[in-house]
Amino acid sequence: MPRFAFLGAGNLAGAMVDGLLENKVVPPADLICLGGPGVSAARLAARTGIRCARSIDDLLADADTLVVAFKPQHLAGADPRLAELTSDRLVISVLAGKRLERLAGVFPHARNVVRAMPNTPAAIGAGMTGWCALRPPATTDATLIDRLLQAMGRAVAVEESQMDAITALGGSGPGFFFEFVAALRDAGVAAGLTSDLATTFAAETTLGAARLLARRQIDPETLRDQVTSPNGTTFAGLQQLKAHDFRATVRAAVLAAADRSRELAQQS
C-alpha cells in the first residue's frame, strides 16, 4: 500500500486527501500531512483521520511519495533537508508555475519529480488534472501517479510547455465558474427570486448543463443553439452577453491566470 505525505495542508491538499479517501485508494493511516505555522494541518487531520506529522523528518519517515502542496512563493524557503529526505522518493508538486527544472533543484535526489495541476473538484472525484514528469516514469511510479491523480477524477499527461495554460484553465477555472454561478444567483434575485431559490436554480442548472455537455461530447455551441429559439428568451440573454463581449472577458481572465503562472515560475 503506497504511503502519501502531504507537505502543505490547504484547500488543494485537502481536496486531494478527500479524493484518495473517498475512492479508497489508501486508508487514512497511510496518509500524513505537515503544514506551516498555522492550524491547517491539524484541522485536515482532525477532519479526515489522517496523521499530522510532528516534523519534516516524521513526515517523510515512511512515505513513498511526497506531495508538495504549500504556496508556490514558499518554495524558495523550503527546508534544505528535503533534498536528502526525499532521496529515492517520488515527488509530486502541485505548485502553480514552478517548473520541473526548478523543482529538480530542490529535490535533486528524488526518484522522479512530477509537476501536476489538479483542481478543487478533486474533493468529490470530479477533478481534472494535467501533469508532466522530469523523466518518463517507471512502471511502479506510473502506477502511483495514476492512483493519486485518477482518484481525484480525470488526469491527462501534457507537455510542460502547456502547464501554464492548464493551470489557468483547469486550476483557476473552478474559481471562474463559481463566480459565474454567483452572478446567475444574483441575477435570479434581481429577476424576483429569493436568494435560496436562485442559488438552487443556478447550481442545478449549471450542473445539469455541464453533465449534458460531458455526456453528449459535442461542441458547446451546438448545445447552445439547441436551447436558443429565434428571438426567444435565451436569444435575448445571449445578445446581452455578446454586447458586453462575454467571451473576451473570460479569455482575459484565463490569460491573466496563465500570465501569473509564468510570473510565479520566474520567482525563486
| Residue whose C-alpha cell reads 517523510 in the numeric block | 60
Residue 8 among known ligand-binding residues: yes
Helical (H) or strand (E) element with 114: strand 112-117
Residue 11 among known ligand-binding residues: yes
Residue 93 phi, psi dihedral angles, 5° rounding? -100, 135
Residue 49 among known ligand-binding residues: no
Rounded to whole angstroms, how far apart are CA atoms 125 and 99?
26
The secondary structure of residue 81, as a DSSP letter, is: T
Please check whether residue 92 is in contact with residue 118, taking contact to mean a CB–CB distance below 8 angstroms: no
Helical (H) or strand (E) element with 211: helix 195-216
Bridge partner list, 114: 92, 133
Name the grid cell of 84: 536528502
- Bridging pattern class, strands 65-68 and 51-52: unpaired
Helical (H) or strand (E) element with 97: none
Residue 10 among known ligand-binding residues: yes
Residue 187 among known ligand-binding residues: no
Residue 9 among known ligand-binding residues: yes
Residue 168 among known ligand-binding residues: no
Residue 7 among known ligand-binding residues: yes
Positions at the binding site: 7-12, 69-72
Positions at the binding site for NADP(+): 7-12, 69-72
